[in-house]
């Protein structure tokens, strides 16, 4: 799994899109990858908790204008989001590969251990790609902007981050792939 929340696949990758890279992670590389993902999730927990606290305060404020209720709502929702994020990170850090840690990168989609994430098309645009080597295993970090259609013909854009694990020794290939992804399919900004 490349991100905290995989992007739902609305349509399969086009068969005409060629494979840019394909590899299988060794068991120790897979463990390093999921540990890095879990660490990233844990690091984001305080920010998510703060957002949850604000949401909890707003919800409590709607139902009760008492300051104690608003504070309680903020604390309860903030703590719930914080705990949920940490539990999710712990579970992710223990995930075993279901498809032998296979990775396939195409111009419009990425498949990591059997989970496909669409990068382009169906209201998704790749907006950036870079190699990160500050995690336990190098990853190509892809920024994907997804347009969400809401009621009343309103739309909003959500930025998702997809991390593609790269086996040690393949960093030069990963840089080439990141460049090719940005250049080769209408990335919005590098």
pLDDT tens for 80-131 read: 888 887 787 777 667 777 768 889 998 888 998 888 888 888 788 888 889 9
Phi, psi of 147, deg, nearest 5: -90, 125
CA–CA distance, 121 with 13 (Å, rounded to integer): 9
- Asked whether the beta carbons of 25 and 139 are under 8 A apart, the reply is no
Residue by residue, pLDDT tens for the chain (190 residues) are: 344 334 444 444 444 478 888 988 888 888 888 888 888 778 878 888 888 888 888 888 888 878 888 888 888 888 888 888 778 777 766 777 776 888 999 888 899 888 888 888 878 888 888 998 888 889 999 988 888 877 777 888 888 888 899 998 888 888 998 888 888 643 444 3
Computed over every residue of the chain, the mean pLDDT equals 79
As a whole number of angstroms, the distance between CA 102 and CA 111 comes to 8
Ranges of beta strands (E only) in 123-178 are: 124-132, 139-149, 155-165
- pTM of this structure: 0.68
29's CB contacts (< 8 A; 6+ apart) are 101, 137, 165, 167, 168
Give CA–CA dist 144/24, Å, rounded.
24
Q: What's the first-to-final CA gap in the chain, in angstroms?
A: 23
């Amino acid at each position: 799994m490349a991100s905290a929340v995989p992007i739902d696949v609305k349509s399969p990758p086009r068969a005409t899109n060629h494979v840019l890279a394909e590899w299988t992670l060794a068991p120790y590389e897979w463990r390093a990858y999921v540990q890095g993902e879990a660490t990233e999730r844990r690091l984001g927990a305080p920010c998510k908790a703060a957002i949850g606290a604000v949401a909890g305060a707003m919800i409590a404020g709607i139902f009760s204008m008492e300051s104690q209720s608003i504070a309680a709502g903020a604390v309860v929702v903030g703590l719930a989001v914080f705990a949920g994020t940490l539990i999710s990170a712990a579970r992710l850090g223990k995930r075993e590969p279901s498809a032998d840690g296979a990775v396939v990168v195409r111009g419009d989609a990425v498949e990591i251990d059997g989970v496909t994430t669409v990068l382009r098309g169906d209201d998704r645009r790749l907006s950036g790609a870079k190699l990160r080597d500050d995690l336990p295993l190098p990853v190509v970090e892809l920024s994907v902007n997804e347009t969400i259609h809401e009621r009343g013909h309103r739309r909003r854009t959500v930025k998702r981050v997809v991390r593609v694990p790269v086996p040690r020794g393949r960093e030069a290939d990963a840089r080439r792939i990141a460049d090719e992804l940005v250049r080769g399919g209408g990335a919005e900004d590098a």
